[in-house]
Structure 1
Amino acid sequence: MNSKITIAIDGFSSTGKSTVAKQLAKSLGYVYVDTGAMYRAVAFYAMSHGFIDGNHFDKSGLIENLGRINISFKFNEALGFAEVYLNGVNIEKQIRTLEVSGFVSTVAAVSEVRHKLVEQQQQMGKDKGLVMDGRDIGTVVFPDAELKLFMTASAETRAQRRYKELIDRGDEVVYDEVLKNVQERDYIDTHREDSPLVKADDAIEIDNSNMTLEEQFKVILDLVNKALNK
């Protein structure tokens, strides 16, 4: 029995995938990789370099510049998790805005972007002992993961959580805009041609609409222990 496994967590936006993935990684002493942050970093790069805004998307321009995008994670002791760096610059705070959220699914639908990032993600997980969350981890990145979870909750519940998160951070946002963003991202994520968001056949669905973080963590930790003992 390999003492370390790969845990793949997929699901809709704002279902708390990252929160539970961080908890698990900390509890198990595993590496945590937030793939959503990687796609956000590419979206932020595209915005910063004029490849995307509310009126246009220069897809070919972004594709031509993919070689100039270097994404890395550096563990922050004070925060207890790894922050995202783009070409050596910490962009953790910049990528969490509603503006980036508005473009990330569009950028993530580009096949060339997905191929580049999936390759990096598979490299990160080659030694197991990893918790990775995203949209296609159990279906594309690690189809052989020992434990696959699929997180879901109602759009309204997710929008409320995201809204609270942004308000707590000091962002000025309107709930209806956050809900619209959640619904638009759901549509793009589930309808894109390349690696759409789908539940893997062997994934366990967790609907956390009415769960506290503690309840959810207990349920998932039990599933992890079962997978470790197989």
Structure 2
Amino acid sequence: MTASEQAPVLTVDGPGGAGKGTISQLLARKLGWHLLDSGALYRLTALAAMKQAVAFDDETALAGVAGALDVRFEPSPGDEPARVFLNGADATTAIRTEECGDRASRVAALPSVRQALLQRQRDFCQPPGLVADGRDMGTVVFPDASHKVFLTASAEERARRRHEQLLAQGEDVKLADLIEEIQVRDERDVNRSTAPLKPADDARVVDTTGLSIDEVLDQVLAVTGHT
């Protein structure tokens, strides 16, 4: 029996900044389902590797880091992302830096790392259901998911959203630099040999550019039949 046969799964894939995290958190809360933030697992792998001074060109060592992660997710109130804990310490803010995001994108391109995290992600599928947020949830991790959504938005829109988040955190980052970083990261994610970023053939694609959170949520809920 596959993981998605044990409980219903809604996959929410797409590039960074398309709104996956916020929408997935709201969906999980509304449906009363579990939440998997798969991107956080790759960011945690990158963070743990940096803390352990593991070279980012050492695929074997990075896969070992991924396989040994001590991670825990805890729901947050409101629209805030779920709290993420690494080795018992709150790593929610640390994994959201631009440096960690860039390293995570590099780590995610390594086949051995993806394989090390595959079963760990599938183990999150428990009754009554799972909202799985990531980049290959509907294509690789849960190919038999009952519902699949792919959120997207222009690079400019995603950079603007990220710029607002960083300013709110007190970080001074140029919008033009963020646009360039997002475009480079997209190119890497789309063209990697293992699990490239793309919509599943049976996924509903939703362009979130110019849409409010409520408008996106309504469209995604319509896919699941929970309007």
Q: Is residue 185 of structure 1 aligned with residue 188 of structure 2?
A: no
Q: Is residue 10 of structure 1 aligned with residue 13 of structure 2?
A: yes
1:36 partner letter: G
Q: Does structure 2 retain, via aligned residues, the 8 Å contact 1:44–1:100?
A: yes
Q: Give the 5 Å matches for 1:93-112.
A: 93-112=93-112
Q: In the alignment, which residue of structure 2 is the partner of 1:51?
A: 54
What are the superposed Cα offsets for residues 164-222 of structure 1, whole Å, 9 maximum, x if unpaired?
11111112211122112211110111111111111110000000112111111111112
Change (3 A) 1:145 1:128: farther
How many aligned positions are there? 222
Shift of 1:79: 7.8
Shift of 1:59: 3.0
1:28 partner letter: L
What are the superposed Cα offsets for residues 56-81 of structure 1, whole Å, 9 maximum, x if unpaired?
63333323444442222234568876
State the alpha-carbon separation in 2 of the partners of residues 192 and 146 from structure 1.
Answer: 26
Q: Is residue 113 of structure 1 aligned with residue 113 of structure 2?
A: yes
Q: In the alignment, which residue of structure 2 is the partner of 1:61?
A: 61
Q: Does structure 2 retain, via aligned residues, the 8 Å contact 1:101–1:181?
A: no
1:225 partner letter: G
Q: Does structure 1 retain, via aligned residues, the 8 Å contact 2:25–2:82?
A: no
1:17 partner letter: K
Q: Is residue 130 of structure 1 aligned with residue 130 of structure 2?
A: yes
Q: Does structure 2 retain, via aligned residues, the 8 Å contact 1:6–1:128?
A: no
Percent identical: 36
Change (3 A) 1:117 1:68: closer
State the alpha-carbon separation in 1 of the partners of residues 79 and 115 from structure 2.
Answer: 30
Q: In the alignment, which residue of structure 2 is the partner of 1:174?
A: 174
The TM-score, its normalising length taken from structure 1, stands at: 0.88
- Equivalent of 1:37, from 37, 40, 53? 40
Task: Give the 3-state SS of the residue equivalent to 2:54 in structure 1.
Answer: coil
Q: In the alignment, which residue of structure 2 is the partner of 1:145?
A: 145
Q: In the alignment, which residue of structure 1 is the partner of 2:28?
A: 25
Change (3 A) 1:213 1:197: same
Gaps of 5+ in 2: none
What are the superposed Cα offsets for residues 7-41 of structure 1, whole Å, 9 maximum, x if unpaired?
00111111000110111111111111111111110
Task: Give the 3-state SS of the residue equivalent to 1:202 in structure 2.
Answer: coil
Q: Does structure 1 retain, via aligned residues, the 8 Å contact 2:148–2:202?
A: yes
Task: Give the 3-state SS of the residue equivalent to 1:218 in structure 2.
Answer: helix
State the alpha-carbon separation in 2 of the partners of residues 170 and 223 from structure 1.
Answer: 37
2:18 partner letter: T
The TM-score, its normalising length taken from structure 2, stands at: 0.90
Change (3 A) 1:168 1:154: same
Gaps of 5+ in 1: none
Change (3 A) 1:80 1:31: farther
